[in-house]
Amino acid sequence: MDTTPTFSPLGSGMPIAGTQARPLVPESATGVDPRPFVGKRVFDLIVALAILVFFAPFMLMIAVAIMMTDGAPVLFKHRRIGAGGQPFDCLKFRTMVRDADKRLADLLQADDQARQEWLLSQKLKNDPRVLPMGRFLRESSLDELPQLINVLKGEMSLVGPRPVLLDELTQQYGEEGKRAYISIRPGITGLWQVSGRSCTDYSRRVSLDIQYSKNASLSTDIIILIKTVGVVLWRNGAY
């Protein structure tokens, strides 16, 4: 349950804007076909559709509230790497100001403490870019409801490794980690979200994502989803 803007202080890496169909992962990590997991996919479709129908009125209210407080756009599209190394637009309700990337770059350049916090976890506990209602949406994970559309489109799963930027994948995961990551669809929730969320440092998140990718199963997904409900209700580690 992560909101990471497209600005990456870890390095410029390869450009991700405007890329459509070809895999972006380095050649050494491609050629790994995403595991089919037919049962997992059917489960994703049924549950995602049910949740989407149930929350549709709330999603409409959130969209109207964002429009009234900060205007358009309502949704934030962030380019992430999916199964097979394919890029896709991961959807969230916009919880930050519209020039969030520029403000982050300026902040990290001017504030050593903020820069160290960002390098450690890719998040800021007291992020000045967050809109007034944005903090509630992030803490409650309601900002991630649009990702159910990604699930229905086959770009994401309910449970999986968190969707990452190209820079993150190429610089932080290593060859084995890259192959594990692209072997499965990224998820709305996953092991790291039920293991501390934002309180988990970045290297630990990567380790948990790789662990899940190598051992994914429908039964594991159900357990993680049940734990996610508790984590969201209690807002454990959320900011």
Mean pLDDT computed over 138-154? 95
Is residue 84 in a domain? yes
Tokens 């790994």 sit on residue: 32
Q: Residue 20 domain-assigned?
A: no
Taking only Cα atoms into account, the Rg of the chain, rounded to an integer number of angstroms, comes to 17
Residue 8 within any structural domain of the chain: no
Model confidence at 19: pLDDT above 50: no
| Number of compact structural domains in the chain | 1
Any domain includes 12: no
Does residue 15 lie within any of the structural domains? Answer: no
Q: Is 239 a member of any domain?
A: no
User: Which residue bears the tokens 């380019």?
Assistant: 79
Asked if 190 contacts 212 with a C-beta cutoff of 8 angstroms, the reply is yes
Q: How confident is the model at residue 36 (pLDDT cuts 50, 70, 90)?
A: low
What's the domain range around 186?
A: 27-234
pLDDT at 237: 56
CB 168, CB 160: distance < 8 Å: no
Is residue 135 included in any domain, yes or no?
A: yes
Distance (Å, rounded) from C-alpha 209 to C-alpha 180?
9
pTM of the model: 0.80
Residue 5 lies in a domain: no
Question: What single DSSP character describes residue 130?
Answer: B
Looking at residue 199, its pLDDT comes to: 67
3-state secondary structure of 187: strand
